[in-house]
C-alpha cells in the first residue's frame, strides 16, 4: 500500500538516510552532490593535523619552502599540511577550487588565524572553519576526491570566467552566525527518494537523473554516464 500522504524526505544518495541542509550526509559523511559517493567529509582531527603540519612546515622552511610547495599542490586543492594529513579542499558544490579561491582562502585563514577560526569547525555540522565558510569551501578526504581536480585538468575548456566571490557583502553574509539560507545543492530534494536496498543500477540512474535535473552535469555527460552504468551492471 502506498501511503496517500506524500512526505518529501531528502535522503542521502549513498546510504539513503534523511538529510538536513548540510553539504555532507550526517551519517556516512558522503558529499551529497557527488554522484559516485566517493567524496567524503574530512575528519576534524585530520584537519587539525593539517594545520599543525602547515605551521611546522612554515616555521621549518621560513615560509618560502612552504609557499613554493603550496603553489605546486594548489592544482590538487591541497596545502602541504593537507597533503600530509590526506585532506583536500574543494568548493561546497563539489567542484574544484580555483587558484584565486585558494589564495583568498589562505589570506582569510591568515587574517583569522586563531582559535576561533578552528573552533567553528566543532560547531558547524559540516566541520567547516570560518575561512571555509568565507570562501565557500569544504574539506574532504583526499582519497576518493582526486577526480575533482583531475576533471578540471582534463577539460581545459575555458571555464566561464568564474566570478571571484569575495565581494565584502558576501563575506559578511558568510561570517554571520545565522546566514540567510542560500539554496545550494544539498538542500535540493530529489523527486524520488532512494530506498535502501535499491539495486545499484537503479540507484545510479536515479542519481544521474537528479544531477541532470539540477544541471550539475550536462546532457552529454548524463548520456555517457547512463550508458556506462547500464553496461557496468
Interface residues toward Zn ion, by CB under 5 A: 12, 14-15, 25, 27-28, 30
Q: How far is the CB of 19 from Zn ion (least distance, A)?
A: 8
User: Between residues 60 and 200, which has the closer beta carbon with respect to Zn ion?
Assistant: 200
**Smallest separation, CB 137 to Zn ion (Å):** 21
| Residue at grid coordinates 593535523 | 49
Give the Cβ contact number of residue 80 at 10 Å. 22
Distance CA(94)–CA(140), nearest Å, equals 10
18 or 60: whose CB is closer to Zn ion? 18
Work out how close the CB of 28 gets to Zn ion at its nearest, in angstroms, rounded to a whole number: 3
Cβ neighbors of 213 (< 8 A, separation 6 or more) are: 191
70 or 145: CB nearest Zn ion: 145
Cβ atoms 212, 180 nearer than 8 A: no
Q: Write down the least CB distance from residue 10 to Zn ion, Å.
A: 11
Q: Judged by CB, which is closer to Zn ion: 18, or 65?
A: 18
The CA distance from 33 to 20, in Å, is 13
Closer Cβ to Zn ion, 12 or 57, answer by number: 12
Measured from the CB of residue 24, what is the shortest distance to Zn ion in angstroms? 8
Annotate 160-214 with DSSP letters as a single string.
--PPP---HHHHHHHHSSSPPPP--GGGPPPSSPPPTT--HHHHHHHHHHHHHHT
Amino acid at each position: 500500500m502506498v501511503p496517500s500522504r506524500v512526505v518529501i524526505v531528502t535522503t542521502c544518495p549513498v546510504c539513503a538516510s534523511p538529510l538536513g541542509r548540510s553539504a555532507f550526509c550526517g551519517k556516512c559523511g558522503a558529499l551529497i552532490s557527488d554522484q559516485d559517493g566517493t567524496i567524503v567529509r574530512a575528519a576534524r582531527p585530520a584537519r587539525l593535523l593539517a594545520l599543525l603540519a602547515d605551521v611546522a612546515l612554515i616555521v621549518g622552511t621560513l615560509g618560502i619552502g612552504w609557499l613554493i610547495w603550496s603553489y605546486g599542490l594548489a592544482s590538487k586543492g591541497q596545502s602541504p599540511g593537507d597533503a600530509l594529513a590526506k585532506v583536500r579542499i574543494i568548493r561546497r558544490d563539489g567542484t574544484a577550487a580555483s587558484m584565486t579561491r585558494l589564495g583568498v582562502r589562505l589570506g582569510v585563514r591568515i587574517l583569522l588565524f586563531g582559535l576561533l577560526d578552528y573552533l567553528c569547525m566543532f560547531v558547524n555540522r559540516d566541520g567547516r572553519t570560518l575561512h571555509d565558510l568565507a570562501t565557500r569551501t569544504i574539506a574532504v578526504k583526499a582519497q576518493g576526491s582526486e577526480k575533482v581536480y583531475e576533471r578540471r585538468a582534463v577539460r581545459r575548456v575555458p571555464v566561464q570566467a568564474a566570478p571571484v566571490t569575495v565581494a565584502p557583502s558576501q563575506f559578511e553574509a558568510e561570517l554571520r552566525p545565522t546566514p540567510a539560507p542560500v539554496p545550494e545543492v544539498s538542500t535540493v530534494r530529489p523527486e524520488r527518494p532512494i530506498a535502501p536496498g535499491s539495486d545499484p543500477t537503479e540507484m545510479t540512474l536515479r542519481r544521474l537523473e537528479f544531477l541532470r535535473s539540477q544541471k550539475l552535469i550536462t546532457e552529454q555527460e548524463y548520456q555517457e554516464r547512463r550508458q556506462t552504468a547500464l553496461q557496468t551492471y
